[in-house]
Amino acid sequence: MAEYARPFHDGAMTSRIISVPIDSGDPQALAGFWADVLGWQIRETGFQKTPYGPDGAVLSPGQAGAVELDFRWVPEPKTTKNRLHLDIEPVDGDQAAELERLLALGARPADVGQGDKPWHVLTDPEGNEFCLCRERVPPLTP
């Protein structure tokens, strides 16, 4: 494997992440799940033309310049482990309470070989893995 050694920022032009696209069989339903998980708002729907009509949904925390989650319809189901996943942390409670809330929303426990760790690996309703970490973070302010 090649090593990548470069200063974090050397004054040259950079880019920033604006959106994390997520493939989905039902983008609006999956966006609804994640809106409940994160407390974000569905900002836009119906921008993607599919065989079923307008589809797609974008979630945003409501802050200018914040990263969005962009749910896009695809015809095929998820078949393998994610190469990219989200890590989330509790804001309004502890990890145990947040785990209970996420399971009630439709998340499911997953075993990806993590063993006995201080985080929980879960899947959303379409099988996408994500991790519930144990640190408690302050809420974002608009």
- The whole-number pLDDT of residue 8 equals 63
How far is 135 from 27, CA to CA, in rounded Å?
A: 29
How far is 27 from 12, CA to CA, in rounded Å?
A: 37
Classify residue 115: in a domain, yes or no. yes
pLDDT tens for 95-124 read: 999 999 999 999 999 988 888 888 999 999
User: How much is the pTM?
Assistant: 0.82
Verify that 88 and 138 share a domain, yes or no.
yes
Strand ranges inside the chain, DSSP E: 19-24, 41-50, 53-60, 68-73, 86-88, 108-109, 120-123, 129-132
28, burial (CB in 10 Å: exposed 0-12, middle 13-18, buried 19+): middle
- The whole-number pLDDT of residue 23 equals 92
Verify that 65 and 87 share a domain, yes or no.
no
User: For 11-28, what is the mean pLDDT?
Assistant: 88
Task: Give how many domains the chain has, as a whole number.
Answer: 2
